[in-house]
Amino acid sequence: MFRPPLLFALAVISLTFIPAYAEVTSLQADRSFYSIDMSIYFTGTVATQDSQKLVNLMIQDSNGKIVLMTGKYADSNNAFQIIVNTNDQNQFNLKGTYSASAFVNSKQDGKTIFFDFSPDGSPVFHPSESKNNAIFSQNEVNGPSKQETNSNNTFLSDENVKIVDFVNMSKKIAPNNNRSEVISSSPELANVLYPLMAACGAGLVGFIIYQRKKRTRGISEQSNEKSVLKIESDQDYALKILKNRLAKGEITLEEFKMTRDALSEP
């Protein structure tokens, strides 16, 4: 039969020969997001009894698959740095949140951190963010809760009044046609269009005035031609009569010449 002092002595001897588990006291990365062909700088510290011991680093993808296992010795100051590059697409090819665990003997006694990886550099969305976005979208559809409505009743009433006033004002100042809308929404277009319209209008008025003057001038010329023709016809008729009188002996040759010269004068 064992005595209590003997049992105590055996327990002390057992603890002396059983090695203590190593422990990583801190672990961090230089960034929270990485893409293809980037270096990840892991730094941290270990417990004093684990100084200058090998620190293991295990990286797992979002599915829990181990993609990389490496390590480096801690220095005399209990610090360590492990650099990992993401250029190997056989290891880093899945978009999502990765975990990195640093430990000496047991993962349970180490430290674990998380970082995001995306091969094409696009953002990584987390389930918690999606859940929050879904809750926010649902609140937008269903409206605020009864408690929120009661606590913000005055504020919402004032905002509703402002919104209604703004909508009514928009309806009043809304343009009646697409042309007004285009002009009002583009000041530069209006600055170009208005002078162009004015120039076209002035040109059209000038063209109408020119046509009227041309038509009046044509009418005047036709009237003058008719007058000239009429005068010439009268002169020919008078000269014919004058010749008949000369032939009949009613006037002398000198009287005929004098009368003809008088008719020829303008």
Total domain count for the chain? 2
Does residue 174 lie in a domain region?
Answer: no
pLDDT at 199: 83
Q: Which range of residues forms the domain containing residue 223? A: 193-266
User: How many percent of the chain have pLDDT more than 70?
Assistant: 62
Grade residue 23 by pLDDT with cuts at 50, 70 and 90. Answer: confident
Does residue 256 lie in a domain region?
Answer: yes
Pick from 96-105, 163-172, 184-193, 209-218: least confident: 163-172
pLDDT at 210: 85
Q: Where among 117, 142, 167 does a domain terminate?
A: 117
Does residue 183 lie in a domain region?
Answer: no
Residue pLDDT, tens place only, 153-194: 544 445 454 544 544 555 554 455 555 544 455 566 667 777
pTM: 0.45
Grade residue 245 by pLDDT with cuts at 50, 70 and 90. Answer: confident
Does residue 128 lie in a domain region?
Answer: no
Does residue 249 lie in a domain region?
Answer: yes
What DSSP line would sit under the chain, residue for residue? ---HHHHHHHHHHHHHHSPPPP-EEEEEES-SEE-TT-EEEEEEEE-GGGTTSEEEEEEE-TTS-EEEEEEEE--TTSEEEEEEE---TTTS---EEEEEEEESS-GGGSEEEEEEE-TT------HHHHHHHHHHHHHHHH---HHHHHHTHHHHHHHHHHHHHHHHHHHHH--SSHHHHHHHH-HHHHHHHHHHHHHHHHHHHHHHHHHHHHHHHHHHHHHHHHHHHHHHHHHHHHHHHHHHHHHHTSS-HHHHHHHHHHHH--
25 and 109 housed in the same domain: yes
Does residue 197 lie in a domain region?
Answer: yes
24 and 112 housed in the same domain: yes
Specify the CATH number for the domain of residue 91: 2.60.40.1930
Q: Where among 117, 140, 158 does a domain terminate?
A: 117
Does residue 214 lie in a domain region?
Answer: yes
Does residue 260 lie in a domain region?
Answer: yes
Judged against a pLDDT cut of 60, whether residue 149 lies above it is answered with: no
Q: Where among 99, 117, 135 does a domain terminate?
A: 117
